[in-house]
A and B are shown apart, each in its own frame.
Chain A
Amino acid sequence: MNTIVITIISLSLIGVLAGVILFLIAQKFKVFEDPRIDDVEAVLPGANCGGCGYPGCRNFADSCVRSENLDSLFCPVGGNDGMVKVAAVLGRAAVAKEPTVAVVRCSGNPDHRMRTARYDSAPTCEIASGLFAGDTACSYGCLGLGDCEAACDFDAIHMNPVTLLPEVIDEKCNSCGACVRACPKKIIELRKRNKKDRKIFVSCVNQDKGATARKACSVACIGCKACQKVCEYDAITIENFLAYIDPVKCRLCRKCVEVCPTGSILEINFPPRKTAESELCLTEISPN
């Protein structure tokens, strides 16, 4: 009996003592964490994709709380709505940004560019591009080994087994930029997201002279300047024999697409245009 009492008393004393020591230590080494960090993190998407430039959502929330304003901070996954929520938590003004989407600027499928070699080492674009320019005649084009697909956290980019090129699923893309960073050839670009996901862009990054580029790939940009001449909005610049359409200046008039001799400017998600042929069909049909 006596033993049990002594045990209970001594253990309780040790417990109380340990509790006091722990309390004192906790007071001494207390780290103040702004409770708003938790609040901001709660409204973030929680994808930890790194698209904002920080390692994860919590680091981003921490910076949002610390910084004076939200000008240089943007979560591409949450988008403008998400940033409005963050701003509401912190009582600051959110800066709206144009939504963007990843665009693959290479159309060189096996029909368009000849395979000149066979690559059989480690199947990643990073390793292949370190070894050589690529297994086709174009040294700028897509290697087709899918580093972008592996980098995407949102299942939004996939390699097409027929064209051997990556394809972006616009609805799933959150424009975090992981694929842009993963591509050693710098083919993927984040461009302004237009209404109905309409896109006009030069689907080529080849900077060789026109003749060399054309020889390497039949849909390469040859830097002929035809698109630049026809553009009414001054949106097209040509540098190193390669045209670039400024996504902000572009008004989606599609004139450049018509004049491109190699078909390297793509129009996506547009309604079928009235071609000369279809008009001809209509005139033939209408008299009857």
Chain B
Amino acid sequence: MKAFRKGGVHPAENKISTGSSILDLPVPGLVTVHLSQHLGVPAQPVVDKGDSVRTGQLIAKSAGFVSANIHSPVSGTVQKIEPVPDITGYPKMAIVIEVKGDEWVETIDRTDTIVRPDKLSREEIIARISEMGIVGMGGATFPSHVKVSVPKGKKAEILIINGVECEPYLTSDHRLMLEKGEEILIGAGFLMRALPVDQAVIGIEKNKPDAIEHLRKLSSGYPGIRVEPLKVKYPQGGEKQLIKAITGREVPSGGLPIDVGAVVHNVGTAFAVYEAIAKNKPLFERVVTVTGKSLAKNANFKVRIGTPISSLIDAAGGLPDDTGKVISGGPMMGRALPGLNAPVTKGTSGIVVMKANESVRKTVMNCIRCARCASACPMGLEPYFLMSLGDARRWEEMETARALDCMECGSCSFTCPSNRPLLDYIRIGKTNVNRILKARKS
């Protein structure tokens, strides 16, 4: 069975919510839609305070090539456009909409019937992806139309659909593959035509045998698409790791997947592409796993963007008394939340409620030079060395030690027997190296 070679760890899987099918979460009374829900330039609002909007209406326009449109997730009136704290607690520009009814834009097809438009040209598909505000749904939220537009001189050879979901606890992609398999395959077909490539591989870890079985059965009807079961290993869902596991090719340091002819999209993105093209539906809702060991109801919800995280937790039975941390995203790469009022964004894949005794940071001790972090690093870096450089604020040396190759998977901090916060120091190193690179350019 295939897997990436270098490094990797095996955190406990804890996929508690695997069996819970996707439920629609009721539309909340107030939604907060941040203008920067994607990597790149924040979108520009095209509505004003007091305007009434309908579900699916464009409310903020992409402000550059690496940017994405944002559509209203609800119908109602725009209450205000001003900075509101996001999941980090920092105030960021957002459109706050007071919900009234649920009136959708007429052009959106709200039925469940499967549509297979096959007359669309490559340009039409890319234009539609861009127009509907599709971004990478795995968590990095990179605008999808940028990934699909292959730069001149490069050629895409293979499309990889990422159904790995290597983060512990999260099950939203797994449920999506089981319940919307047909749609994902059609979406993958659109992406293949846009690139254009004649083969696509869906990579799924073998801890999801039902999803592998289901998609394999369905994919027989789709020429060029096959399913590749993968060994369970974190962080297999990382773009570069997945390419290595499936094609054996290694993306060069500082390079992009397209340099080795590969393009990777998440299963959630493939589903969003299907909805955008076949159903004319912009990206304004997503599947979010709400899970935790002492949570009353572990669930996968289909949530409108902008819903406060607190209402997701309420729907899952409320915050348990023994809660230590609430994490947005998975426990490995997610962020601990400073409060529960922040809204769901296009990149929120899960909300993990950790018990107090699980989430305690153990006492930090000295580095014993065991090099476990170096063995665990999937990018072949030396985290202990990068951390000491970061502590000494030697940014230029961090640059030469390839700090920018770090994808912040957290395997180093996870594996450290001295409980050292390796990733935290590498992360500030990355910020400072990027700052230096920017200064050097200008």
The answer to whether the Cβ of B19 comes within 8 Å of any Cβ in the partner chain is no
CB <8 Å contact, B424 and A127: yes
CB <8 Å contact, A135 and B428: no
| Binary interface encoding of chain B residues 82-122 relative to chain A, with 1 for a CB under 8 A from any of its CBs, else 0 | 00010011110000000000000000000000000000000
CB <8 Å contact, A132 and B361: no
Distance (whole angstroms) from the CB of A68 to the closest CB of chain B: 27
Chain B binder among A16-24, A116-124, A247-255, A274-282: A116-124
Q: Bound state CA distance, A135 and B325, in angstroms?
A: 13
Task: Give the residue of A116, A117, A127 whose beta carbon is less than 8 angstroms from that of B425.
Answer: A127
CB <8 Å contact, A121 and B421: yes
The answer to whether the Cβ of B338 comes within 8 Å of any Cβ in the partner chain is yes
The answer to whether the Cβ of B427 comes within 8 Å of any Cβ in the partner chain is yes
The answer to whether the Cβ of A59 comes within 8 Å of any Cβ in the partner chain is no
Distance (whole angstroms) from the CB of B90 to the closest CB of chain A: 5
Q: A120-B361, A139-B85, A208-B91 are in contact. Are A133 and B338 (CB under 8 A)?
A: yes
- B88 surroundings in chain A (CB, below 8 A): 131-133
Q: Bound state CA distance, A87 and B88, in angstroms?
A: 51
Distance (whole angstroms) from the CB of A69 to the closest CB of chain B: 28
The answer to whether the Cβ of B431 comes within 8 Å of any Cβ in the partner chain is yes
The answer to whether the Cβ of B248 comes within 8 Å of any Cβ in the partner chain is no
- A146 surroundings in chain B (CB, below 8 A): none
The answer to whether the Cβ of B64 comes within 8 Å of any Cβ in the partner chain is no
- B91 surroundings in chain A (CB, below 8 A): 139, 208
CB <8 Å contact, A135 and B431: no
| Binary interface encoding of chain A residues 186-225 relative to chain B, with 1 for a CB under 8 A from any of its CBs, else 0 | 0000000000000000000000100000000000000000
The answer to whether the Cβ of A144 comes within 8 Å of any Cβ in the partner chain is no
The answer to whether the Cβ of B355 comes within 8 Å of any Cβ in the partner chain is no
CB <8 Å contact, A133 and B361: no
CB within 8 Å of B: which A120-143 residues: 120-122, 126-127, 130-135, 139
Q: Bound state CA distance, A130 and B90, in angstroms?
A: 10
CB <8 Å contact, A116 and B428: no
CB <8 Å contact, A139 and B425: no
Q: Bound state CA distance, A139 and B88, in angstroms?
A: 9
Task: Give the residue of A116, A117, A121, A135 whose beta carbon is less than 8 angstroms from that of B424.
Answer: A121
| Binary interface encoding of chain B residues 384-427 relative to chain A, with 1 for a CB under 8 A from any of its CBs, else 0 | 00000000000000000000000000000000000001001101
Q: Bound state CA distance, A122 and B337, in angstroms?
A: 16
- A139 surroundings in chain B (CB, below 8 A): 85, 89-91
CB <8 Å contact, B427 and A130: yes
The answer to whether the Cβ of B244 comes within 8 Å of any Cβ in the partner chain is no
The answer to whether the Cβ of B339 comes within 8 Å of any Cβ in the partner chain is yes
- Most chain-A CB neighbours within 10 Å: which of B89, B336, B427? B89
Q: Bound state CA distance, A108 and B26, in angstroms?
A: 39
CB <8 Å contact, A122 and B338: no
Task: Give the residue of A126, A132, A135, A208 whose beta carbon is less than 8 angstroms from that of B335.
Answer: A132
Q: Bound state CA distance, A133 and B421, in angstroms?
A: 19
| Binary interface encoding of chain B residues 316-350 relative to chain A, with 1 for a CB under 8 A from any of its CBs, else 0 | 00000000000000000001111100000000000
CB <8 Å contact, B339 and A116: yes
- B339 surroundings in chain A (CB, below 8 A): 116-117
Q: Whose C-beta in chain A lies nearest to the C-beta of B427?
A: A130
* Total residues of chain A contacting the partner, CB 8 A: 15
Q: Bound state CA distance, A208 and B82, in angstroms?
A: 10
CB <8 Å contact, A122 and B421: yes
Distance (whole angstroms) from the CB of A210 to the closest CB of chain B: 13
Task: Give the residue of A121, A127, A130, A208 whose beta carbon is less than 8 angstroms from that of B361.
Answer: A121
CB <8 Å contact, B421 and A126: no
Q: Bound state CA distance, A132 and B360, in angstroms?
A: 18
Q: A117-B338, A135-B338 are in contact. Are A130 and B428 (CB under 8 A)?
A: yes
- B431 surroundings in chain A (CB, below 8 A): 130
Q: Bound state CA distance, A116 and B326, in angstroms?
A: 13
CB <8 Å contact, A132 and B338: yes
- A133 surroundings in chain B (CB, below 8 A): 85, 88-90, 338
Distance (whole angstroms) from the CB of B360 to the closest CB of chain A: 8
- A131 surroundings in chain B (CB, below 8 A): 88, 335, 424
Q: Bound state CA distance, A122 and B427, in angstroms?
A: 11
Q: Bound state CA distance, A117 and B89, in angstroms?
A: 11
CB <8 Å contact, A122 and B425: yes
Q: Bound state CA distance, A259 and B159, in angstroms?
A: 66
| Binary interface encoding of chain A residues 86-123 relative to chain B, with 1 for a CB under 8 A from any of its CBs, else 0 | 00000000000000000000000000000011001110
Distance (whole angstroms) from the CB of A138 to the closest CB of chain B: 10
Q: Whose C-beta in chain A lies nearest to the C-beta of B83?
A: A208
Distance (whole angstroms) from the CB of B393 to the closest CB of chain A: 9
| Binary interface encoding of chain B residues 361-376 relative to chain A, with 1 for a CB under 8 A from any of its CBs, else 0 | 1000000000000000
CB within 8 Å of A: which B177-234 residues: none
Q: A116-B338, A116-B339, A120-B361 are in contact. Are A132 and B424 (CB under 8 A)?
A: no
- B90 surroundings in chain A (CB, below 8 A): 132-133, 139
CB <8 Å contact, A127 and B428: yes
Q: A117-B339, A135-B338 are in contact. Are A122 and B89 (CB under 8 A)?
A: no
Distance (whole angstroms) from the CB of B131 to the closest CB of chain A: 33
- B428 surroundings in chain A (CB, below 8 A): 126-127, 130
Q: Whose C-beta in chain B lies nearest to the C-beta of A126?
A: B428
CB within 8 Å of B: which A50-76 residues: none
Q: Whose C-beta in chain A lies nearest to the C-beta of B421?
A: A122
- A135 surroundings in chain B (CB, below 8 A): 338
Distance (whole angstroms) from the CB of A176 to the closest CB of chain B: 17
Q: Bound state CA distance, A132 and B335, in angstroms?
A: 9
- A126 surroundings in chain B (CB, below 8 A): 428
Q: Bound state CA distance, A134 and B427, in angstroms?
A: 17
Q: A122-B421, A132-B336 are in contact. List 17 more A-B contacts (CB 8 A).
A: A116-B338, A117-B336, A117-B337, A121-B421, A121-B424, A127-B421, A127-B428, A130-B428, A130-B431, A131-B88, A131-B335, A132-B90, A133-B85, A133-B90, A134-B338, A135-B338, A139-B85
A-B contact pairs, 18 of them (CB 8 A): A116-B339, A117-B337, A121-B424, A122-B425, A127-B424, A127-B425, A127-B427, A127-B428, A130-B427, A130-B431, A131-B335, A132-B88, A132-B336, A133-B85, A133-B88, A134-B89, A139-B89, A208-B91
Pairs of residues from A and B, 9 with the lowest C-beta to C-beta distance, nearest first: A133-B89, A117-B338, A122-B421, A122-B424, A120-B361, A133-B90, A132-B88, A127-B424, A132-B89
